[in-house]
Structure 1
Amino acid sequence: MPLMHKKSIVKGELDMQWKKYWLAIQNDRKNTLASDCLEKNLLKSRSKLDFHIANQLFVEHKHKLIYCEVPKVGCSNWKRTIFLLQADLNMKAAEIEHDHIHKTSLLKKLTSYPPAKQEEFLNNYTKVMFTRHPWERLVSAYRDKLLHSEPYYSTTVANEIRAMFRKNKNSSEKVSFQEFVNFIIAKQPNALDIHWKPMFLLCDPCNIHYDVLGKYETLGLDSEHVLKIIGAPDSLHYPSLKRYSSEKRTTGDITLEYFRQLSSEQIEKIKKLYQMDFFLFNYTMKYEDYFSLEG
């Protein structure tokens, strides 16, 4: 048997093993979610999809894909991928600017369609959502939105936070992480900005049966499998572009640095706010366990 043929057989067998491994992980995630939704009584009987949830769902018709946008979980790169899937352009993901991909009218939301069509797409398209450890996502949102000079967040939102928590209302110092956390826990979960709103409230995974439950922790692997499932071109791969290329990604270590600034009371309130995300998506709730504080 020629060597090249042997190599291709071995590669095929390895690919099959990886696919079985990935499918087993997916089944585990879905089973955990289904039993937890039942336990927490989160299943609803509804005639119409909630507007705020439909507004998070992007539809790509050519490959029959529905993607739920969860900010701070690789959503800019997923939007780039969807743009390339439907546009059929000879472009690279790196050529699509961050601001453009979030403003383009070429990406269609489920809210663009009447209820009957929404139902049809939800029943027939491949539905995917991605999650991330809630505290890592929270720190990532703070760093991205409050520490950088993004017009709306660094002015309007920052000024609202300063007005709530500072004696000197004219202070222009950047909002601290403690102030940011106090601002979040003072609001009702459904009223929160989508960048730090609990993930289960954005995508309603107990009532929309997602075909793929991806995680930021396995983002590359999960994304490649999604592209295979929907029949994307072999040349298209999920990109790993960063908005601020010189800045480190928000890792567990960086998250720990910020959470060490919080009081135990703040941590308990943040736990309560995101407890359903921890539970449904099987993230470790206990602070010491996740960040290895002990030992």
Structure 2
Amino acid sequence: MGTSRMFRIFIVLGSAFMILLIILYWDDVGTSHSYLHTPISPGPKMAHPAPGQHQQEKLQKQPPPTPRMLSFLSDIDAFVNQFLEPGTGEPTDPVLAETSNQSEKAEERYIPKQEWKVHQMPVAPELRQRQEHRKRLLEEVCANDSVLFPGQKRTFDDIPNKELDHLIVDDRHGIIYCYVPKVACSNWKRIMIILSESLLHDGLPPRDPLFISNDQAHNSSMHFTFNKFWKRYGKFSRHLMKVKLKKYTKFLFVRDPFVRLVSAYRDKLEVGNEDFYRKFAQVILRRYANQPTPPSSVDEARAAGLHPSFSQFIQYLLDPQTEMDMPFNEHWRQVYRLCHPCQIQYDFVGHLETVEEDAAHLLRLLRVDNVVEFPTSHGNTTSSSSEAQWFSTVPRESLRELYKLYEPDFRLFGYDRPDSILNE
């Protein structure tokens, strides 16, 4: 009872402190057109005691609250309320109780309860041990000074806002997902859309993740990411990020770094993709394939039998000029640069190699396994068994340089050094 009361006092004092900050920065936040979303509706009306004469004079000098300010206050109020038991004002467990409640409500919106398969068996001990091992490994590598890599020792506040665009937030269930391209991210994005109900069909969220098209899954407007916080919350964005990182369940999925590179090459450069051809394939052909004037479109290039070889793609990654021009594309950018595992303490680390077991475990951990299921995998088109064949065309010295470039990902996520490839 004492702990509950102290927590409630903490919530009230924290809310009062935030309101005080809002008053201090009223002009900046209330008038900015770049911080907040276009106003939707004013926040709830709040009763206040009658102000004294001095307070009345002060209030008369202040401008009236703008719709944006009211919307902002409403967001803050909703965020605080999610940690209180509805109707009582008493604090409750923000993950277990609230998430369970949301899951039951969501289940009713999707389909009658009796048609759902709800998993009742306990999680196997080996799956829990697997997660403990993966999380412990992250902590050890991040703390190890003998494995230094860019950004390893910086704080969360040091991460530029533009580098937080892969962290998707679902406030309904208290989930944060860092997506890694070429690691089943399309299906996980579909699941995040279903859970957040950012897409409705006939007034209801879809039940089947595969009902959501690939274009919809990757449409940025469907996802609320950390890099969008600044526009909504302004100066309070970092504070709210940290609160959500502490309270929400955070997860990511990874795969063998070299196999991920092969998958990215096959999907974006070997197969015709107009956007990637213009941005990357033309550059690779000019620099490394003796093609000073490559075809202007991917169809013309395919007709001429031209596309970058895998070896040329690796040469492109190793060329210092590449990152001088622009950061690595997300499909081949290192996971530690996408998801910041040394600054964010992830609660669940999934591997594509064990995706079906890990996905079932995660959905039960999130208490949404009675709402959505991870789509059945039909096998990876790029498997680790074909890895040696792909890298056989790459010079040995280049492979060793490539390993150094991606070594942090190998070490952080427990993938063995590919000695059979590097030492042949």
TM-score of the pair, normalised by structure 2? 0.61
Shift of 1:106: 2.2
Q: Match for residue 227 of structure 2?
A: 111
Q: Secondary structure at the match of 1:105?
A: helix
**Conservation of the 8 A alpha-carbon contact between 1:70 and 1:129:** yes
User: Are residue 36 (structure 1) and residue 138 (structure 2) matched?
Assistant: no
Paired AA for residue 143 in structure 2: L
Q: Match for residue 109 of structure 2?
A: none
Q: Match for residue 280 of structure 2?
A: 157
Shift of 1:151: 1.9
Alignment length (residue pairs): 275
Paired AA for residue 116 in structure 1: H
Identical positions, percent: 28
Paired AA for residue 174 in structure 1: H
Q: Match for residue 3 of structure 1?
A: none
User: Are residue 97 (structure 1) and residue 213 (structure 2) matched?
Assistant: yes
**Conservation of the 8 A alpha-carbon contact between 1:70 and 1:202:** yes
Q: Match for residue 167 of structure 1?
A: 290
Shift of 1:241: 6.2
Q: Match for residue 311 of structure 2?
A: 178
Q: Match for residue 264 of structure 2?
A: 141
User: Are residue 56 (structure 1) and residue 169 (structure 2) matched?
Assistant: no
**Conservation of the 8 A alpha-carbon contact between 2:263 and 2:382:** yes
Q: 1:22 aligns with which of 120, 127, 145?
A: 127
Q: Match for residue 250 of structure 1?
A: 382
Q: How does 1:127-276 map to 2 (within 5 A)?
A: 127-171=250-294, 172=301, 173-186=306-319, 187-188=322-323, 191-240=327-376, 249-276=381-408
Mapped to 2, the partners of 1:95 and 1:212 lie a distance apart of: 26
Q: Secondary structure at the match of 1:169?
A: coil
| Residues 117-155 of structure 1 deviation map (CA, whole Å, 9 limit, x = unaligned) | 212211111000111100000000000100222221123
| Residues 211-233 of structure 1 deviation map (CA, whole Å, 9 limit, x = unaligned) | 00111111121122221122215
| Residues 158-185 of structure 1 deviation map (CA, whole Å, 9 limit, x = unaligned) | 1011111132323430110011100011
Shift of 1:253: 2.4
| Residues 252-291 of structure 1 deviation map (CA, whole Å, 9 limit, x = unaligned) | 123222111111012111111101111111111133189x
Mapped to 2, the partners of 1:22 and 1:147 lie a distance apart of: 37
Shift of 1:35: 1.1
Unaligned segments of structure 1, at least 5 residues:
1-10
**Conservation of the 8 A alpha-carbon contact between 1:147 and 1:154:** no
Q: Secondary structure at the match of 2:218?
A: helix
Q: How does 1:276-291 map to 2 (within 5 A)?
A: 276-288=408-420
Mapped to 2, the partners of 1:194 and 1:47 lie a distance apart of: 22
**Conservation of the 8 A alpha-carbon contact between 2:164 and 2:338:** no
**Conservation of the 8 A alpha-carbon contact between 1:67 and 1:127:** yes
Range 248-257 or range 276-285, more displaced: 248-257
Mapped to 2, the partners of 1:253 and 1:282 lie a distance apart of: 18
**Conservation of the 8 A alpha-carbon contact between 1:185 and 1:269:** yes
Distance 1:241 1:145, change over 3 A: farther
Unaligned segments of structure 2, at least 5 residues:
1-118, 198-203, 230-236, 295-300
Paired AA for residue 227 in structure 1: L
TM-score of the pair, normalised by structure 1? 0.86
